[in-house]
Amino acid sequence: MFISHKRIKDLYGVANRLREDVIAMLEKAGSGHSAGPLGTAELFAAFYFYILNQKPKEPLWPQRDRLILSNGHICPIQYAALARAGYFPLKKLETLRQYGSGLQGHPHRKALPGIETTSGPLGEGLSQGIGMALSARLNNEKHRIYVVMSDGEHQEGNVWEAAMFAGKNRLNNITVVIDRNNIQIDGFTENVMPLEPLREKYLAFNWNVIDVDGHNIEEIINAVAQARAVYEKPTVIIAHTIPGKGVSFMERKYEWHGMPPNKEQARQALKELRTLGGKIKSEHE
């Protein structure tokens, strides 16, 4: 798929802006998850600003693509993307995790426009997405279902029951994106409960599997385009990412999985991200 150089540059700029939003939100809230949201900024920029067929001012538009966030704890990055895409005012981002706010610690379907499912317990998003995909097929609807998942939640058995069902029923209208950042709250996934060979497991369940650099927006967009061209099976995109991406003292450190920055750490993180933003602008000119 051809994507103009300018459009790609703009999307990298959006991703960096989303990271800044996440840091500001978490510092103000004083709680929340840092590593996963920062590591998936390019994914959410690509989806909400290029891939999804959506109408932010009509969040329940029947023909919209559905994006389900299974690993709901990384919701700050989704909230930032939704706000920047025009689903609700940016000012609301300041209310993350506050009592009565729609920006809860895990997404609630009725609390905000653009949220397709309520998530919390890990491992449920794939089953929810499969239900939507099967319904769309039965009703001859053409929209697509996307499910963002963590790698760690693949330690849940119900994920593999769902994967088996989707493969058996050849649900070609669903695409899963796995944030393969190799961490979870207790440590590195391969130490806690090894997931490899992850690619081969999905292949065995009759899925089309694509590996991408989760920080390469062009690769992400092209992988989604490839998924649309596969008619005989569902597709999973394994996006290899760096947790805490963009903030040097957070990168690759599982300790930041569920920890927010304090005021000084947020100041340093924003400084790094603004410097990175300048580099992105110059590198993609």
The DSSP bridge pattern shows strands 208-213 and 235-240 to be parallel
**Residue 285: per-residue pLDDT:** 55
Q: According to the model, what pLDDT value does residue 236 have?
A: 98
How far from 166 is each of 1, 126, 143, CA to CA, in Å? 26, 9, 17
pLDDT of residue 276: 82
pLDDT tens figures, 141-190: 999 999 999 999 999 999 999 999 999 999 999 999 999 999 999 999 99
- Residue 121: the pLDDT is 87
The b-or-e profile of 120-154 (16+ CB within 10 A means b, else e) is: eebbbbbbbbbebbbebeeeeeebbbbbbbbbbbb
pLDDT at 3: 87
Question: For 91-122, how does the pLDDT look when each residue is reduced to its tens digit (9 = 90+)?
Answer: 999 999 999 999 999 999 999 999 999 998 89
**pTM of the entire structure?**
0.96
Q: What is the pLDDT of residue 279?
A: 75
* 240/115 Cα distance (integer angstroms): 25
User: Which tens digit of pLDDT belongs to each residue from 30-65?
Assistant: 999 999 999 999 999 999 999 999 999 999 999 999
What is the DSSP track for 60-72? T-TT--EEEESSG
> pLDDT tens, 235-252?
999 999 999 999 999 999
The whole-chain average pLDDT of the chain stands at: 96
Q: Is the pLDDT of residue 193 over 80?
A: yes
CB proximity list for 97: less than 8 A, separation 6 or greater: 29, 30, 31, 32, 103, 104, 105
Alpha helices in the chain (DSSP H): 5-29, 35-39, 41-46, 75-85, 125-138, 157-168, 189-192, 198-204, 217-228, 263-283
Mean pLDDT of 212-228: 98
Can you list the domains of the chain with their CATH numbers?
5-283 (3.40.50.970)
- pLDDT at position 267: 98
Q: Of 53, 49, 113, nearest to 79 (Cα)?
A: 113
